[in-house]
Each structure stands twice: as C-alpha cells, then as structure tokens.
A and B are shown apart, each in its own frame.
Chain A
C-alpha cells in the first residue's frame, strides 16, 4: 500500500498568518493516465471530510482561494495564505492513484 506521511501533525497558527502542510507518498502518485490523484480534505469536529483540492492543485467548488495545493511525484503541499477561524480542523491528504486509496495521518490546525 502507498504510505502517506504528513508533517507537521499539529500546527498552531496565528489568525491572518499563513499555514503550510506537507504530504509525502512512499511511491510516485503519477497514474498511468498521466494524472496525479492527490487530494486534500478538511474535517471539522463531528463533520464528514470536505474536499478542498483534487489532482494536486485544483480547488473544489466553493473552496476559498486562500487554499492552494502544489507538488509533484511524491511531495505535495497544502497552503493557506491567511488562516481564518473557520479553518480550524484536521487536514488529510489522500492518494487515489493506486488501490487501496490511502490517507495521511492528519494534521490538526489550531489557532494560537
């Protein structure tokens, strides 16, 4: 199985400041069709995951443009340009290139 490793596991951030989460995969996530199926989800307490970014850098419908994704191959990053109160939660990367799909351990974003 592809192992997804996120860093940091916890990220205290000041409101209005940027935040960055890294995700590394144990194998290249480039699919045979040329796409890289790496996504980012946000999960608030008691809620299902919410898709933020798909295929590395595509923002999902309704996601604020302060969220951005980048990377290639095995190294990926989610950035929040200016953290707001509503961004508190746990963030997961997920790969859908190989079966079984796998998630990172999650990064807890909290306000300092």
Chain B
C-alpha cells in the first residue's frame, strides 16, 4: 500500500541543522510532488514548501527561504527536508505529505524535532 515513513525524533541545539527523511513506497515516487508541513506543540499546521521528485525543483514558503532545503534521492524513493540555524521556535512535528489536499493525499507519521540547549 502507499506509505510514507519518516525518520525518527531529533534533539538539536540552537544554531544547528536537522535533516528529516521521508521514504515512499507503494507508488512511483517521481510521479507526485512531496510537501512538508510542520506543527509546533499545541499549535496549528504550517506549510513549508514542496519538491518535485522528478525534476528536483522546489518551492519554499517565504518564511523559510534561505534556511530550508528540500532534496530527494530517487534511487531510494526518499525525500529530505533540511532546516538550518535552528531556534526554539523550530521545535515542532514535521510531516511530509504527498500532494496534500488532492485525491492523491498521503501523509507521513511525523518526525518530532526538539531544539533545546
């Protein structure tokens, strides 16, 4: 079945970077854009951007420009989201989602990133 499996929880210090992975299975990885959405503790959902796994093209929310990089490795059907210069405000659950809000919608289980000194 179609599935997105994300990497495990991360604990990072302020100023560090984190790289979260999202492994796809059950479908043609290059056929669907992959989005990233985050959710701070007790807060709502925030869209970060997407990557086209076929071309590698990306589109980031202005808020994260210069600090986020979405990449992919088509040989292992895996998308990555790297966020740099972390602060406590980046503490959140990070989700990958295949073409959310469409008929192709599938979400990963989420990866908790905690930023603390």
Least distance between B74 CB and chain A CB atoms (Å): 24
Contact of A105 among B37, B44, B59 (CB under 8 A): B44
Contact pattern, B 44-56, Cβ under 8 Å of A = 1, otherwise 0: 1111010000000
- Interface size for A (C-beta < 8 A) is 23
**Given A99-B59, A100-B61, A100-B63, do A51 and B44 touch, yes or no (CB 8 Å)?**
no
Q: How far is the CB of B65 from chain A (nearest CB, A)?
A: 10
Interface residues of B (CB under 8 A from A): 35, 37, 44-47, 49, 59, 61-63, 95, 97, 100-103, 105, 107-110
5 tightest Cβ-Cβ pairs between the two chains A and B = A39-B101, A100-B61, A48-B107, A101-B47, A51-B105
Residues of A within 8 A of B (CB): 37, 39, 41, 43, 48-51, 54, 58, 60-61, 92, 94, 96, 99-106
